[in-house]
Amino acid sequence: MNHRVPLIAAGSFNSLERMAVGLADGLDLVAVGSALVANTDLFGQKNLSLNLSASEIESIKLPESMFSKIKDLGVFAFQFTK
């Protein structure tokens, strides 16, 4: 991302608040695994706002079909900027 290796962390991200703190502290992504097993409605609790610019979308290099599935989840309120 932006000519650098993304920083991704996993473990102990069992609440939206902890995820927000990790992202605010500089993580590019947080991985959520067992937290979803323990609380399958974790992302249903709140609609998460996510702002993405066109260059950020390109740098993620996510296949369009996968990005469409993520949007279809209805968890994120995507806001696209220039």
Per-residue pLDDT 10s for the chain (82 aa) are 567 788 888 888 888 888 888 888 988 888 888 888 888 887 776 666 667 777 777 777 777 888 888 778 777 777 777 7
Residue 43 has what pLDDT?
75
For residues 40-77, one letter each, b for 16 or more C-beta atoms within 10 angstroms of the residue's C-beta and e for the rest, the string is eebbeeeeeeeebeeeeeeeeeeeeeeeeeeeeeeeee
User: 23: closest CA among 50, 54, 62?
Assistant: 50
Residue 47 has what pLDDT?
65
How much is the pTM? 0.54
Residue 9 is classified by DSSP as: E
CB 73 within 8 A of CB 50: no
Residue 61 has what pLDDT?
72
